[in-house]
Structure 1
Amino acid sequence: MDVFEADAQQREEELHRWWQENWKSIVMGIVLAIAIITVVFMYRDYTKKVKYQNAVDFYAIVMNSDLSDANSVNDVKKFIGDHSSDVYSQLASLSLAKQYVAEKKYQEAADLLKASIGASRDNILDDVIRLRVARLNIELKKFDEANAVLDAITNREAFKFEVASLKGDAAYANKDNAAALKFYEEALSSAKADDDTNVVKMKRDSLKTVKGVTAVKAAEKQEGASQQPAADVKAEEAVKAEDIAAKTVAAEESAAK
């Protein structure tokens, strides 16, 4: 028993010595862990409140405003500037750009949307905005810029149908019907089940019709050109035959006399 008691007493003394040497580090670690947990929860609550307030401001300033009013437009522009690093600036830019398009201010809309790309670091939303910028550039007859914006789209597979159809629109507006037909065919071949292909099909079919009519007219023109020399030869031969007949009749009359 004395051996066991001595061993227990020795362990107790070692534990006491260890505690004396390390209690400060242990307490500081516990306090630090509690502080970190507290800060994390406080930050989560803060970000929730910020997001909630941003949403409230967005609906109050952007969604419930008359964007045809100059003062409201200035408020929206200020909101976009104050939220330049979150998704609400992009949503506000889309709303204001829609109003600009209604007023046929295509350049202002394009500039506004281009400036908003990358604000929220949301690749999908960025690509949606690029598609709208491309449409505006086509309307402005800036076809090279439209194609450059379309080439910058990151989610190529997700937006393959939209990219090809818009490139077709750019080619058609630039009077390059062959390229437009190619892009429309590419768009239809890559369309997904939920894509609305009706408009693209009508554009493709109209180009095919125009191409067919042009080909027929060209063939008719070529055929007419090839038949014209033959008609001229026949007319010349007829004139010669009439001349020979007249000379023959004159010779017969002369011999009869």
Structure 2
Amino acid sequence: MELYDSEEQQVEAIKDWWKENGKAVILGTVVGIGGLLGWRFYQDTVVEAQEAASDAYTTAVTQLAAQGADAQDTVQSFISANSDSEYATLAALQLAKVQVESGELDAALEQLNWAKSNSKDTALTAVATYRVARILVEQGNDEQALTELDALTHKDWAGRVAELRGDILLRSGDQDAAYQAYSQAQQSADNSQTLQMKLDDLAK
């Protein structure tokens, strides 16, 4: 460190340093403050957008619950307007459920496939994939359903996947393979209450 003999020398040194570096310091400070304010503004904007999407989602699904299939256009408009949000995925899942209940399986399948393709949440993707497989089974598209189930590898779904696979195999006449699939499902934490009945029926 450079030593100074007097206060005057120190003052002169500071002045010289400021002449050389003052603009950079000011610029850095301005940029730093601007960046901080910009980040806070961005965060506030994101929070406001999320709150608005949440409110709109609540309104849409409430209308769906009250009006059923008659509220499809409203919910679809919400999904289109918020397609980059997981709220849109949730709305698509809800809409598909209502469509299944009203017998509109093709429309429900479209919603679920959209949810699968657009969701970044693995849990929601798993829900959509399983429901797609269920609809395909209902439509008699067993091979496609099995393909969907093969893609659903999350351990939390192991029991339901194995049981549905067993249902498909049983319908095709392969009782041994169906029994094996049901037995595999029974080892999983998410097995259903009807699983034991299916195993008992095959054991007779």
TM-score, with normalisation over the residues of structure 1?
0.72
Does residue 184 in structure 1 map to residue 182 in structure 2? yes
Higher Cα Rg, which structure:
1
One-letter identity of the residue aligned with 2:54? A
User: Which residue pairs with 1:165 in the alignment?
Assistant: 163
Any unmatched runs of 5+ in structure 2? Answer: none
Any unmatched runs of 5+ in structure 1? Answer: 210-257
Query: Could you say which structure has the greater relative contact order, defined with CA pairs below 8 angstroms and 6 or more residues apart?
Result: 2
Which stretches of structure 1, 4 residues or more, deviate above 4 A after TM superposition? none
User: Which residue pairs with 1:67 in the alignment?
Assistant: 68
- Partner SS for 1:162: helix
Work out whether residues 159 and 191 of structure 2, in 8 Å CA contact, stay in contact via their aligned partners in 1: no
One-letter identity of the residue aligned with 1:115? W
Q: 1:98/1:123 Cα in 2 relative to 1: closer, same or farther (>3 Å)?
A: same
- Partner SS for 1:6: coil
User: Which residue pairs with 1:201 in the alignment?
Assistant: 196
Q: 1:119/1:5 Cα in 2 relative to 1: closer, same or farther (>3 Å)?
A: closer
Name the CA distance, whole Å, in 1 between partners of 2:169 and 2:198. Answer: 12
Does residue 121 in structure 1 map to residue 116 in structure 2? no
> How far off its partner does 1:8 sit?
4.3
User: Which residue pairs with 2:30 in the alignment?
Assistant: 31
TM-score, with normalisation over the residues of structure 2?
0.90
Work out whether residues 138 and 169 of structure 1, in 8 Å CA contact, stay in contact via their aligned partners in 2: no
Name the CA distance, whole Å, in 2 between partners of 1:91 and 1:64. Answer: 14
One-letter identity of the residue aligned with 1:68? A
Does residue 101 in structure 1 map to residue 100 in structure 2? yes
User: Which residue pairs with 1:52 in the alignment?
Assistant: 51
Identity %: 28
Name the CA distance, whole Å, in 2 between partners of 1:62 and 1:126. Answer: 19
> How far off its partner does 1:196 sit?
4.5
Work out whether residues 160 and 192 of structure 2, in 8 Å CA contact, stay in contact via their aligned partners in 1: no
Name the CA distance, whole Å, in 2 between partners of 1:154 and 1:11. Answer: 71
The number of equivalent residue pairs is: 200
TM-superposition CA deviations, 1:61-89 (whole Å, max 9, x none): 232231232xx211211211111121111
